Amino acid sequence: MTDGTATAPLDPPPPLRVDTGTSSPLVRTKLFVPRARHALVPRARLLERLQAADTSPLTVVSGPAGFGKTTLLAAWAGATERPVAWVSLEASEQHPTPFWTYVVTALDTAVPGVGATVLPLLQGADARPGAVVATLVNALAAVPGGVDLVLDDYHLADTAAIAGDVAFLVEHLPADVRVLIGTRADPDLPLARMRARGALVEVRAADLRLTRAEVAAYVTDVAGLGLTADEVAALEDRTEGWVAALQLAALSLRGRDDAASFIAGFAGDDRYVVDYLVEEVVRRQPEQVRRFLLDTSVLDRLSGSLCDAVTGGSDSRSVLESLERANLFVVPLDDNRRWYRYHHLFADVLRAHLVEDRPSSVPTLHRRAAQWYAAADEPEPAVRHAITGGDLELAADVVERTAIGLLRQRRESTVRAWIDEIPDALVRQRPVLAIGFIGALMSRGEFDTVPERLARLEALLADPSADVVVLDEHEAARVPGAMETYRAALALVSGDAAGTVMHADLAVERAAPGDDLTVAAASALAGLASWAGGDLESAHRAYSVAVAGLERAGNISDVLGCSITLGDLRTTQGRLDDARRTYEQALRLAAAHAGPGTGGTGGTGGSGGSGATSSSGTPGGPLRGVADMEVGLSGIALETGDLGAAAAHLDRAGALGEHLGLPQFPYRWRVAQARLREAEGDRAGALALLEEAQRVYVGDYSPDVCPLAAQRVRVLLTLGRVDEALEWARERGLTPDDEPSYVREYEHVTLARALLHHPDTSPTAHRLLERLAAAAESGGRTGILVEMLVLQAVALDRASGSGDVGAPLEPLERAVRLAEGTGHVRVFVGEGAPMAGLLAALVEREPAWGHPRRLLDACHREAVVAGGVGDVNEARGLVEPLSTRELEVLRLLATSLDGPDIARRLFISVNTLRTHTKNVYAKLGVNRRRDAVARAGELGLL
């Protein structure tokens, strides 16, 4: 090198990494409990306080730098018999994903298995810390004997993005788990509330200050200084019990004959004390050691080979060992003493002295560190040191060589952080670097600068005289296809379906030979455009092409993600058997590829097609996505009326765990559970699950054709909360006169359901359903068409009011004939007693047709279950079970409403109410309203 910097050694020590099962390597030493230095003052009073706090969920050790917070927590951790998970935090953990990855990995290290279901949830930019923390709480609850979590230097990571989830963790901890925080400032947690509840233990700066006795013990027993009692008292007064100052003072006092005058010579605030004392300590070292201390102060962590590279020396390991023996604020970070760090306060002052003494050497030292880290395949510190050292070309080289790989590992946040550090002038020369930055911005939803970046990149590629820098020819060949893929994605998010398809076609055309990922991503984007436009068959064809490409590329988890979309499309088309086969085929494929190293590395797959997914959830175990296939099969079973199979599939999905689900699994599983609960009559449970699903919701590029809010409104309608449903429609701007559109089809059908709950608006609902049905039929959406026809029948039945079922039977017959081919059952059964009456009329009109009878039987089988009372016939001793409508009548009979009010509440005539009441009395074996209510109470029907 022309600047005289040392080249990186060929045998660097093992990288500071830990295999977490995630795509991001972690620094192993941050999970180690710091080793105690050779001698410490016993702090029994503080250790006893920490040990006695084992019933409090949170302990905060708070004080300024150098007050012994880490030392105290480490001493406590070494004395406790319970497992301790330790994380030494840094500013790089201010983002939720790395923060929780370190926390969960530390817990998994302390108690193996705790992170098995949690760590996979942290993979990728679409990770949801809220869902992760809830899963972590559940995992901790299963730990026998408990565990303690120490978050040291918490102030470095304490941001709004972290605080809310940490508060949730602390407030929901199992009884035998606690969190201990070491920090320079109070954490942004509800300390006052926890303090009032007695759930908080605090150790403050006043507690951390050494007492007179502790100062004397340190000076005499640890430092071996022969000071008089007056000199000890003066030293305690000058340092005010500040541990770091006392240690530095003791180092400076060694070999002095003028202890009293030295002690009297320093004063001022903490900063000046440390500056003065560090200068005293450093000045008293041999020149070689002093230079070593200053040169290596630019490093966060120290190893022999790294320090050799930075200092140009050859014996750094022995120097580090001698510094440790001299207790010069060097902390070993591993059991083999190959990695160290300086005490933070000591390092701060060393850096200040370096800048003051030799400012011109600072960039060179950083460049040397960058070169060592680059050779050791540690891109993040390499880039950081290169930028700090002003070697932007080196930084750009490292980023270019690693950015694409990091994106495939779903480490978009790392690449995104580099975008602001690498000058545009360098990026404009490097196509691979430019496309990597564009990919990071797209994955994080930052679209504003992408069109301009794409235009500049296109101009660079088109200019034969341009000074183009390419480090990887294979990745460079992928750039033209990737550019069109990102243009297709931009068109998709802007609602330009035609543009999406055009650029997707260009991406396939310009893809490099064998670039299956680009072909798959482009095809999936074209499919998404067709899906959003309601052209489901074109969407299915495009996604099938994407699946084929992903399978060729070996991205099996991405294949499972696309299978969710394929199954959803077939379900909407009413092709339930095809949807079932899609999920089953995906499960067979996953079983054939189970094990490590088979997951996604890029592209546009995912649930709905918006990103890569990782490989297996556990080494040698099932792939991520198998749990989603079980949820899909559950939905098919529910549609076909097999509630038992639906529950079994959901149980299997839950047993597999969220770590074997794709990013959308947490909310999709809860939605499926909610639908099952509703079918079983547990509407309150369904509502709770939908609200939980909203909390863990993860969106993607897919059209949100079944919004969670609309699904919740449908449950509210079953509870009679019509006003809330209509308010939702007003807020969404939905009206019966809207033009039908596929992306809002589900919401408009929900609006029609709300309008059906009142006789005055039932005809309006019918007209809306007619227009919606015409649009669904033209789009081949048979699945939702069946629902619309069923609702039309209900609307006509309520509008007739005279008991004439002729008009309602026309749409009903059509729905039944369609369902006979598709297998739909739930859409009929879910309408309860009114549908049973209509089906009975259809059976009477078409006695030779067997399918209406089968649907009517299904309504009868579920009538009692849907009422939420279980198998009343067997469990309650009734000769004949009550229907859903009869249960509704019975429950209203238990109120103060009179007959006409009950009839109005149920939207039926008084005569019809009398018929239902007569049936209720007969089935309960009573003759009066009062007796019916009493008997219902005895049977638990109310």
- Write the pLDDT tens digit of every residue in 762-792: 889 999 999 999 999 999 999 999 999 999 9
Residue 71 neighbours by CB under 8 Å, 6+ apart: 34, 36, 40, 243
pLDDT band at 871 (very low <50, low <70, confident <90, very high): very low
How far apart are the C-alpha atoms of 936 and 928, rounded to whole Å?
Answer: 12
Buried b (16+ CB within 10 A) or exposed e, 576-614: bebbbebbeebbebbeebbeeebbbbbbbbbbbbbbbbb
Element (H, E) at 182: strand 177-183
Q: Identify whether the C-beta of residue 869 lies closer than 8 Å to the C-beta of residue 887.
A: yes
pLDDT band at 248 (very low <50, low <70, confident <90, very high): confident
Q: Identify whether the C-beta of residue 424 lies closer than 8 Å to the C-beta of residue 456.
A: no
* pLDDT at residue 431 is higher than 90: yes
Best CA proximity match to 366, nearest among 347, 387, 342, 385: 385
Q: Identify whether the C-beta of residue 880 lies closer than 8 Å to the C-beta of residue 873.
A: yes
How far apart are the C-alpha atoms of 524 and 528, rounded to whole Å?
Answer: 6
Q: Identify whether the C-beta of residue 20 lies closer than 8 Å to the C-beta of residue 120.
A: no
Residue 663 neighbours by CB under 8 Å, 6+ apart: 124, 126, 127, 128, 606, 607, 611, 613, 698, 700
How far apart are the C-alpha atoms of 631 and 187, rounded to whole Å?
Answer: 40
- What is the pLDDT at residue 375? 92
Cα 635 from chain centre = 24
How far apart are the C-alpha atoms of 764 and 735, rounded to whole Å?
Answer: 10
Residue 516 neighbours by CB under 8 Å, 6+ apart: 549, 550, 552, 553
- Amino acid at the residue 364: T
List % helix, strand, coil for the chain (3-state, nearest 5): 65, 5, 35
| Eight-state DSSP code of residue 567 | H
- What is the pLDDT at residue 253? 75
Backbone torsion region of residue 736, taken as left when φ is above 0, otherwise alpha when ψ lies between -120 and 50, otherwise beta = alpha
pLDDT band at 9 (very low <50, low <70, confident <90, very high): very low
Q: Which residues pair with 181 in a beta bridge?
A: 60, 151
* pLDDT at residue 860 is higher than 80: no
pLDDT band at 556 (very low <50, low <70, confident <90, very high): confident
* pLDDT at residue 649 is higher than 90: yes
Higher pLDDT, 74 or 886: 74
pLDDT band at 124 (very low <50, low <70, confident <90, very high): low
* pLDDT at residue 758 is higher than 80: yes
pLDDT band at 914 (very low <50, low <70, confident <90, very high): confident
* pLDDT at residue 885 is higher than 60: yes
Count CA atoms within 13 Å of residue 191 on its CB side.
12
Task: For residue range 131-188, list pLDDT tens digits in order.
Answer: 788 888 888 988 888 899 999 999 888 888 888 889 989 988 988 899 999 998 888 8
How far apart are the C-alpha atoms of 324 and 913, rounded to whole Å?
Answer: 89
How far apart are the C-alpha atoms of 623 and 814, rounded to whole Å?
Answer: 42
- What is the pLDDT at residue 617? 46
Q: Which residues pair with 148 in a beta bridge?
A: 84, 178
pLDDT band at 11 (very low <50, low <70, confident <90, very high): very low
How far apart are the C-alpha atoms of 555 and 613, rounded to whole Å?
Answer: 8
pLDDT band at 23 (very low <50, low <70, confident <90, very high): very low
* pLDDT at residue 636 is higher than 90: yes
Q: Identify whether the C-beta of residue 512 lies closer than 8 Å to the C-beta of residue 522.
A: no
Count CA atoms within 13 Å of residue 494 on its CB side.
16
Mean pLDDT over residues 690-717, rounded? 89
Task: For residue range 280-304, list pLDDT tens digits in order.
Answer: 667 777 888 889 999 999 999 999 9
pLDDT band at 942 (very low <50, low <70, confident <90, very high): low
Residue 60 neighbours by CB under 8 Å, 6+ apart: 180, 181, 183, 186, 187, 191, 200, 201, 202, 203
Q: Which residues pair with 303 in a beta bridge?
A: 339
Task: For residue range 487-510, list pLDDT tens digits in order.
Answer: 999 999 888 999 999 999 999 999
Strands 339-342 and 330-332: antiparallel
pLDDT band at 519 (very low <50, low <70, confident <90, very high): very high
pLDDT band at 567 (very low <50, low <70, confident <90, very high): very high
How far apart are the C-alpha atoms of 643 and 676, rounded to whole Å?
Answer: 7
Best CA proximity match to 543, nearest among 517, 558, 523: 523
pLDDT band at 844 (very low <50, low <70, confident <90, very high): confident
Three-point CA angle 166, 172, 175, nearest 5°? 120
Task: For residue range 797-831, list pLDDT tens digits in order.
Answer: 877 654 566 788 999 999 999 999 999 999 999 98
Distances (CA, A) of 898 to 277, 603, 887, 924: 89, 64, 17, 20
Residue 828 neighbours by CB under 8 Å, 6+ apart: 790, 815, 816, 819, 835, 839, 855, 858, 859
Q: Which residues pair with 332 in a beta bridge?
A: 340
Higher pLDDT, 647 or 9: 647
pTM, two decimal places: 0.63
pLDDT band at 129 (very low <50, low <70, confident <90, very high): low
Q: Identify whether the C-beta of residue 410 lies closer than 8 Å to the C-beta of residue 123.
A: yes
| Eight-state DSSP code of residue 882 | P
Mean pLDDT over the full length of the chain? 83
- Token reading at 55: 């019933």
* pLDDT at residue 4 is higher than 50: no
Q: Identify whether the C-beta of residue 100 lies closer than 8 Å to the C-beta of residue 122.
A: yes
- Greatest mean pLDDT among 353-367, 430-444, 877-891: 353-367
- Greatest mean pLDDT among 171-180, 220-229, 580-589: 580-589
How far apart are the C-alpha atoms of 275 and 273, rounded to whole Å?
Answer: 6
- What is the pLDDT at residue 894? 79
% pLDDT > 70, the chain: 86
- Amino acid at the residue 395: A
Element (H, E) at 866: helix 850-866
Element (H, E) at 71: helix 69-79
